[in-house]
Chains A and B, each alone.
Chain A
Amino acid sequence: MRIVRDAGGRRAVLRGVWGRSLGWGAVVLVGATLVNSVCALLLPAVLAGAADAVLREGGSAWAAGIWLGVVLIGSLAGASLVKVGEVACTSAATLRIRDLLIGHVLALGLPGERAFSAGDLTSRVVSGAPQVAAAMPVLVGGASNLAVSIGGFVALALIDWRLAATVVLAVPLGLVLMRVFVRRASDLATRYQEIQGEISARMLDALAGVRTIRASGTWRREADRILAPLPELSASGRDLWRAYGRIQGHGTLLLPLTGLAALAVAGQGVLAGRLTPGQMLAVAGYAPMALGVLGQTSLLLRLARLRAGARRIGAILDHPVTAPGVRPLPPGPGELRLRGVTVEGDGGPLLTAVDLTVPAGSSAALVGRSGAGKTTLAAVAGGLLAPDRGHVHLDGVPIDAISPGELRRAVAYAFERPHLLGADITGAVSYGSDASRSAVERAAVIAGADGFVRLLPHGYATPLDEAPLSGGERQRLGLARAFVRDARLLVLDDATSSLDTVTEAQVSQALTAGATGTRLMVAHRASTAARADTVVWLDTGRVRAHGPHDELWADPAYRALFSPAAAP
Chain B
Amino acid sequence: MRAGATVGGLLREALRERRAIAPVLLWSAVAVLPALVSGRLVALAVDRGFLDGRGDVGLAWLGGLGLAMVVGAVGARRIPPALGRVVEPLRDRLVRRVVTGTLRRAAGGGRNPDLTVITRMSEHTEVVRDTAGGLLLGLQQVAFTVAAALIGLAFLAPIVALLVVPPVLLVAVLLVRLLPMLVERHRESLLAEERVAGTVGRLLGAVRDVVACGAEPQAMAASRTDLHRQARAERALARAHALRLALGLAGGHLALVTVLVAAPWLVAGGHLSTGEILGTLTYVTANLQPALRAAVQTTGGAGVQLAVTLHRLETTTTTPPQPPPDRPDTTSAVPPKRRRSAVHAHRTSDAHAHRPDVESTPGSGGLPTLSGSTATERHAVSMGGNAEQEAGDTAGHGMGVGGGQRAGDAARHGMGGGGGQRAGDVAGHGMGGGQGTGGKAGLGRGLDAGELGGFRVGVEGVTFGYGAEPVLRDVTFGVDEGFHLAVVGLSGVGKSTLASVLAGLVRPQRGGVFLGGVPLEEVEPTWRYATVALIPQEAYIFTGTLRENLVYLRRPASSRGEDGELPDPRSWSGGVGDTATASGTRGDLGICAWPGDGLDGRGAGDGVADAELDAVVEVLGLGELVGRVGGFAGRIGPRCGLTPGEMQLIALARVWLSTARVVILDEATCHLDAGAEARAEEAFRRRPGTLIVVAHRLTSARRADRILVLDGGRAVVGEHDGLLRESALYADLFGRWTVPEAPSGKSTVG
Contacts and interface: CB of A to CB of B under 8 A. Distances in A.
A224 B567 contact: yes
Contact of A473 (B278, B467, B746): B467
Nearest to B651: A212
28 contacts: A76-B250, A77-B246, A80-B249, A84-B239, A84-B242, A87-B238, A102-B220, A113-B208, A118-B207, A198-B399, A205-B541, A211-B540, A212-B536, A214-B106, A221-B405, A223-B99, A249-B73, A255-B378, A257-B69, A268-B50, A407-B214, A450-B748, A451-B469, A500-B712, A500-B713, A525-B732, A563-B734, A564-B733
Contacts of B503: 215
Interface in A491-518: 497-503, 505-506, 509-510, 513-514
A222 interface: yes
Interface stretch (A12-20, A150-158, A163-171, A186-194): A186-194
Contacts of B360: none
Interface stretch (A121-129, A329-337, A344-352, A392-400): A121-129
Interface stretch (A3-11, A46-54, A537-545): A46-54
A106 B69 contact: no
Nearest to A55: B274
Contact of B196 (A126, A182, A419, A530): A126
A509 B742 contact: yes
Contact of B543 (A188, A202, A210): A202
Contact of A211 (B243, B391, B469, B534): B534
A178 B277 CA distance: 35
Nearest to B101: A223
B674 A199 contact: no
Contacts, number: 630
Nearest to B735: A562
A53 B324 CA distance: 73
B79 A245 contact: yes
B743 interface: yes
Contacts of B325: 457, 466
A413 B285 contact: no
B69 A253 contact: yes
Contacts of A290: none
Interface in B46-92: 46, 49-51, 53, 55, 58-59, 62, 65-66, 69-70, 73-74, 76-81, 83-85, 87-89, 91-92
Nearest to B45: A267
Contact of A229 (B103, B396, B538, B572): B572
| Most-contacted residue by chain A among B83, B239, B281, B528 (CB, 10 A) | B281
Interface in B541-573: 541-544, 552-553, 562-563, 565, 567, 571-572
A84 to B, nearest CB: 5
Interface string B623-656: 0000000000000011100000000000100000
Contacts of B702: 564
A267 B49 contact: yes
Contact of A185 (B381, B385, B493, B711): B381
Nearest to A529: B737
Find the residue from B231, B539, B637 having the highest chain A CB count within 10 A: B231
B53 to A, nearest CB: 7
B277 A409 contact: no
Can you list the 9 inter-chain pairs with the closest CB atoms, starting with the nearest?
A: A209-B540, A408-B214, A432-B215, A249-B77, A500-B712, A241-B84, A228-B403, A432-B213, A562-B735
A547 interface: no
A502 B709 CA distance: 14
Interface stretch (B147-155, B255-263, B437-445): B255-263
B99 to A, nearest CB: 5
Contacts of A445: 748-750
A61 B638 contact: no
A388 interface: no
Contacts of B69: 253, 256-257, 260
A408 B493 contact: no
Given A76-B250, A271-B55, A471-B492, A205 B208 contact: no
Interface stretch (B5-13, B222-230, B477-485, B685-693): B222-230
Given A242-B84, A419-B205, A277 B103 contact: no
Contact of A242 (B80, B210, B261): B80
A199 B122 contact: yes
A176 interface: no
Q: Which of B95, B107, B249, B282 has the most CB of A within 10 A?
A: B107
Contact of A245 (B77, B113, B133, B231): B77
B490 interface: yes
A149 interface: no
Contact of B467 (A206, A452, A502, A513): A452
Contacts of B740: 505, 527, 530-531
A400 to B, nearest CB: 14
A365 interface: no
B84 to A, nearest CB: 3
B80 A433 contact: no
Nearest to A225: B403
A244 B370 contact: yes
Contacts of B99: 199, 203, 223, 226-227
A2 interface: no
Given A247-B381, A481-B213, A564 B699 contact: yes
A244 B50 contact: no
B115 interface: yes
Given A217-B529, A220-B565, A271-B50, A472 B492 contact: yes
Given A205-B540, A214-B505, A225-B571, 13 more contacts: A55-B263, A83-B242, A98-B196, A201-B639, A206-B540, A215-B505, A241-B370, A247-B379, A268-B59, A271-B50, A413-B213, A421-B203, A456-B326
Contact of B394 (A188, A197, A239): A197
B324 A527 contact: no
Contacts of B711: 500-502
Contact of A267 (B55, B250, B383, B748): B55
A208 interface: yes
A459 B728 CA distance: 32
A123 B181 CA distance: 30
Contacts of A413: 209, 212-213
A468 B324 contact: yes
A377 interface: no
Given A221-B409, A225-B402, A230-B96, A210 B469 contact: no
A101 B58 CA distance: 64
A118 B65 CA distance: 60
B671 interface: no
A192 B383 contact: yes
Contacts of B370: 241, 244
A88 B81 CA distance: 39
Contacts of A387: none
Contact of B712 (A125, A200, A503): A503
A182 B378 CA distance: 13
B202 A224 contact: no
A496 B624 CA distance: 41
Which of B102, B243, B349, B733 is most buried by chain A, counting CB atoms within 10 A of its CB?
B733
A79 B538 contact: no
A404 B734 CA distance: 42
A60 to B, nearest CB: 10
Nearest to A563: B735
Contact of B204 (A90, A125, A188, A194): A125
Most B-side CB within 10 Å, residue of A87, A211, A418: A211
Nearest to B107: A219
A470 B238 contact: no
